[in-house]
Chains A and B, each alone.
Chain A
Amino acid sequence: MNEEDKVWRKALHPLAEDLPEVDPQLEGWLLSEFRKQRQSSVEGARKRIWLPIAFAATGATAAAIVCVLLLKTVPPQKLDLPMAQAPKAPEIAAQIETPLAVKSVASNAKPRTVKTAPKPRAQRQTEPSATAFYALPYADPSGPMLSGDVIRVSLPRSAMGIVGLPVNPDRMFEPVQADVIVGDDGVAHAIRFVQYQQPYK
């Protein structure tokens, strides 16, 4: 520090004195923010630890349930699914929402829609709404599926995570209806989830 610095520091010293004090309430407020942040960090860490485990466990459970259900001897409704043709069984076709989007599985087939006649409003309100069909992860998406069955099953909602749909962690163990497309080879190819809407009151 040279002489000039000393002189300037001395000259400006009055400005360093008699300053107002920081708001005394600020420390308390910051401390409460600190506590909130700590709380949210703890909860976040807890979620980060348990969510993947919960998803993996429920996903595995759901997959096991699907397999068990597929092996059951319940007579399936037969549905021929030549992907370029209209379905034969009209009652099954009625279950398939329009447009039918079997992702990956029908990649070689022409887009196909099953048109249904418009229905009265009151009837539509009680109908199920469904997602598109999603190819199951282990299904072979390379070739078209010539024919198969659609089986209605009930699964925990956590199974929706298998195809990447969002799952509310609070409701992951609640049941949800699903339609599974099983090919003639016995392999489940695709799944869609069905939700029954509550009629308006």
Chain B
Amino acid sequence: MADFTTFSDDELLRRMREGSESAFTTLYQRHHRALYRFAYQMSGSSAIADEVTQEVFLALIRQPERFKQEQGPLGAFLHGIARNHVLKALGRDWRYVSQEEDESSMQDLVAPQRDVLTLLMEGQEREQLRQAMLSLPAVYREALVLCDIEELNYDDAAVRIGCPLGTVRSRLHRARALLASKLEIHRKGAVPKSWSYSR
């Protein structure tokens, strides 16, 4: 019997389309955690994360022909579906980040210094950290989730978000600055205001 775990995603998808349950199960086992994690980090809700994971695999079952190999790997395709469902669940406002705001972020905001950041993070409860992150605008949160929590490199993050590399960098930069700012508010008094940003 073939060991499906050694097969590539494309091979598994081909076999799945031919009706192989094992191929589908292997694909599910291979991808569901990352999709669930992403949806949970973005929404903070296990119910939404469950629903998004379900919708992604339903789409794969019902319309596998939507995946085009030449457009990228299957993981990115599934992530794209998950992303659409997450952002739909979060509401529609995420779309409207003005380009001007996006591009100016590099000049307007400067990330906190490393030692200040460490201080900010120290002693933060995980839940506080999560709440601070969830309060970020979705597009910035997405950059933070992909690059700093899922630890994708910028190129992969750009592919998954579907935007240029520079946009990922600027969104990530802004997201970090906003998060540091929110954490500072939490610790107000403990961290002098002047520590928040370096010049």
- Report which A residues bind B (CB closer than 8 A): 1, 3-5, 7-9, 11-16, 18-23, 26-27, 29-31, 33-35, 37-38, 41-42
> Given the interface contacts A15-B126, A33-B61, does A27 sit within 8 Å of B28 by beta carbon?
yes
Residues of B49-105 whose CB lies within 8 A of A: 49-50, 53-54, 57-58, 61-62
- A30 and B36 form a contact (CB under 8 A): no
The answer to whether the Cβ of B153 comes within 8 Å of any Cβ in the partner chain is yes
Complex partner residue of A9 from B32, B37, B148, CB under 8 angstroms: B148
Cβ of A1: which chain B residues have Cβ within 8 Å of it? Answer: 153
Cα distance A27–B29 when bound, in Å?
Answer: 9
Q: 0/1 per residue, B107-150, Cβ < 8 Å to A?
A: 00001001001101100001001100100000000001001111
Given contacts A9-B148, A12-B148, A15-B130, contact A30 B121 (CB under 8 A): no
Please indicate which of the listed interface residues B25, B129, B148 has the most CB atoms of chain A within 10 Å of its own CB.
B148
- Quick check: A11 and B62 within 8 Å, CB to CB? no
The residue in chain B whose Cβ has the minimal distance to the Cβ of A13 is: B149
Q: Are B133 and A15 in contact (CB under 8 A)?
A: yes
A7 near B32 with CB under 8 A, answer: no
Closest residue of B by beta carbon distance from A22: B36
The chain B residue with its CB closest to the CB of A4 is B111
- Rounded to whole angstroms, the CA-CA distance of A35 and B54 in the bound complex is 15
Contacts of A11 in B (CB 8 A): 117-118, 120-121, 148
Interface on chain A toward B: helix, strand, loop, or mixed SS? helix
User: Most chain-B Cβ atoms within 10 A of its Cβ — which of A8, A26, A27?
Assistant: A8
Q: Does B46 contact A (CB under 8 A)?
A: yes
CB distance from B81 to the nearest CB of A (A): 14
Please provide the 8 A-B residue pairs with the shortest distance between their CB atoms, ordered closest to farther.
A11-B121, A22-B36, A20-B46, A8-B148, A14-B126, A12-B148, A23-B50, A38-B19
Complex contacts, A35 vs chain B, CB 8 Å: 21
Given known A-B contacts A33-B58, A35-B21, A22 and B53 have beta carbons under 8 A apart: yes
Smallest distance from the beta carbon of A90 to chain B beta carbons, Å? 60
How distant is the Cα of A18 from the Cα of B37 in the complex, in angstroms? 11
Measured between beta carbons, the chain A residues less than 8 angstroms from B28 are 27, 30
In the assembled complex, 20 residue pairs joining A and B whose CB atoms fall closer than 8 Å, in A order, are A7-B118, A8-B117, A9-B148, A9-B151, A11-B148, A12-B133, A14-B129, A15-B149, A18-B126, A19-B37, A20-B40, A20-B46, A20-B49, A22-B49, A22-B50, A26-B50, A30-B58, A34-B16, A34-B21, A37-B61
